[in-house]
Amino acid sequence: MIHTTSRVLVSGLREHVGQTVSVSGWVNTLRLQSKMQFVVVRDHTGMVQVTHKRSGEGDEVEAALEGLTPESAVRITGRVVDNPIVKLGGLEIIPESVEVLNRAETPLPIDEQTGLEHRMDWRFLDVRRRPQAQLLFAVQTTFEQGMREYAYRQGCTEMHTPKLMGTASESGAEVFKLGYFDRSAYLAQSPQFFKQMAISSGIDKVFEIGPVFRAEPSFTSRHATEFTGVDVELAWIDGVEDVMAFEEQMLAYAIAKVADTHGEAIQETFGVEVTVPTTPFPRITMAETQEILRAKGWDPAGVKDDLDPEGERGIAAHIKEQTGHEWVFVTHYPTSIRPFYHMRPAGNPSVTLSFDLLWKGLEVTTGAQREHRYDVLQKQAAEKGMSTEPMQDYLNAFRYGCPPHGGLGMGLGRVLMVMLGLDSIREATFLFRGPNRLTP
């Protein structure tokens, strides 16, 4: 069929009152009465009512509308008419032709009452039918755009590092092993080693948004086996403070962009207000954090080196109460729970120059100043009982003049989860991957 009228989006119909237009979208609802047929059509910008008065035998439009099912893909050409009693924008379309581009089977496999796991099985329909999901991906796009803009303005080079590795990165635990021709390869748990190599390559500031793989059998609302990481590495730093300052500025910039573009829609759809954080964010050492939490009855046995989710929520609540701030950097984590490549302050080898960033009590970022001295790196790896032989390619990057540097890794899904007040990272991901989910 030849189309003389080009597609108009539902959000733009007001400008076409009295004109004949084509609208393409999905059937949202049908009310087929004895004298009238009402069909609500939805595209990604909104919904419009199509109103047709039946004229019986030989009425092609009537027959086409009668054969529709919810979620069928249609193209409807007709006149846009002002009708103040129509709830959807005070407009309706009087159809002249109805094309069924793809009739949806009936009944649909999911409805409003369907639980999360079953919705995940039919994720394409779930996303299509729910404005929350549609908005989430628009917000994700704007948020990433904001982070990139900030990073580019700071002189970052966007890198794409390999996701296949010949040896297990970091500690060797929690990696996926796969067949690689006649030997084994591993999926990268983080671009850490590669972005440090980029620093050693003379690339001053490194930025990457890409997939990260973690073979953790975690079944929590905030873990995934494949997620999108936002990674930054900065050369010639004076200390880990430079990394925290970069991150808080980047987040404030990107969140302001989200608030500006989608603030009203987020408030309406999720009932959440997006507030742009003030900088600097509060900072508190791990030792202080533990002291405050233990005074409130956390970890009564006094055995925890790290913060558990309860501890993260506890310190965030404390900081919010004290400062009114939703964000907090917890710094100087013990050496025992941090990787060998985190730098340790001179004179205090029991802690690292590292941080976690918590937003409303959820850890969204880990960062640190890296150890850039070859001999120290070797020593720290040996202390952790690691063999340096499989890491020689990595260690070589520090033998020929690597500058002081530090960086961070942020989980995109976790940030979106907190930003939109979602209960699970499954909702903040297009197609979730977890220990029990490899489909669709």
Is 366 annotated to bind ligand?
A: yes
Query: Measuring CA to CA, which residue among 74, 77, 76, 98 is closest to residue 26?
Result: 74
Compute CA 168 distance to the chain's CA centroid, rounded to the nearest angstrom: 26
Is 241 annotated to bind ligand?
A: no
Is 18 annotated to bind ligand?
A: no
Is 268 annotated to bind ligand?
A: no
The single-letter code of the amino acid at 27 is V
**Pairing state of beta strands 354-359 and 226-235?**
unpaired
Long-range Cβ contact pairs of 121-127 (< 8 A, separation 24 or more): 121/439, 121/440, 123/430, 123/431, 123/432, 123/440, 124/440, 125/71, 127/430
Query: Measuring CA to CA, which residue among 46, 53, 143 is closest to residue 96?
Result: 53
Is 413 annotated to bind ligand?
A: yes
Separation between Cα atoms, residue 296 and residue 221, nearest integer Å = 26
358 phi/psi in degrees, rounded to 5: -105, 140
Cα Rg, the chain, nearest whole Å: 27
Is 216 annotated to bind ligand?
A: yes
Question: What does each C-alpha distance from 255 to 126, 134, 414 come to in angstroms?
Answer: 26, 18, 14
Is 344 annotated to bind ligand?
A: no
Is 123 annotated to bind ligand?
A: no
Is 288 annotated to bind ligand?
A: no
Please give the annotated binding residues, written as ranges.
170, 214-216, 363, 366, 370, 411-414
Please give the annotated binding residues for L-aspartate, written as ranges.
170, 214, 366, 370
Please give the annotated binding residues for ATP, written as ranges.
214-216, 363, 411-414
